[in-house]
Structure 1
Amino acid sequence: MELNTIQPASGAKHAKRRVGRGIGSGLGKTAGRGHKGQKSRAGGYHKVGFEGGQMPMQRRLPKRGFKSALLKFNAEVNLNQLQQLGVDEVDLAVLKQAGLVGQLVKVVKVIKSGELTKKVALKGIGATAGAKAAIEAAGGSLDA
């Protein structure tokens, strides 16, 4: 292969459509734009969602709901996950290391879902009332 013989793959390049160049081209006169109207004019178009002046759908419908930007910093861990972790002392770093919570998480709470038989000490981690009872019943402790 030589530099002067390099060519694009066949079918990769195609001729640009030349409009408004006479009747014989098939795209003369109106140049494929039809007759009159906003879409036939130069620079004539509208923004997304525009409905010809009618109140657009996104403004006719009511606003609803809210999603807090802070939710990405909160996480929950259940009792089964603590059981499978197999560590005596659990803190935020241990949970992140094990992949049970995301790296951005700052607040973790243990929820009562599943069983816990191992003794687990929680450091800087919250728990629901039911989860707290289950952890203490298994001989564990909370230091939140």
Structure 2
Amino acid sequence: MGCQRRTQMAFCAESTRSGRGDEASMKLARVDFENVMELEGSIEFPEGKTVIVYGENKAGKSNIIHALRYAFLSKVVGSRRASGYDELKLVTGREMAPAEGVGKITVDFEHDGRQFEIRREIDRNRDDNRILRKEADGFR
């Protein structure tokens, strides 16, 4: 198992076997974060391996999920982790953006055998934080 340490979190990939014929599933290949909350850098999702993200409380593990949700859905939604969980306290698009400058999220993934890339910029001073580019078949 190989691990990469980034700040207080580690990303590990371990070999797995899938006998389910997942041709129609979505597979993440890579996510790049630039100036989004405390996230900076890349996470690779190697083919045929399970990626485990672990770290101390408040290290930013959940923010990876928030950023991915925002990249795909243009909003951050919560889950019902526990009774009394307040979804209003979840990070919003504005909170994801840096105080100054622009935050960027790039997601490379495969779906139905085709490759896609989504790039999203997040600017605290704009309300139209939209997908900048969504391309299929080849990361350009």
Give the TM-score of the pair, scaled to structure 2.
0.24
Which has the greater radius of gyration? 1
- Higher fraction of helix: 1
Give the TM-score of the pair, scaled to structure 1.
0.24
Higher relative contact order at CA 8 Å, sep ≥6: structure 1 or structure 2?
A: 2
- Higher fraction of strand: 2
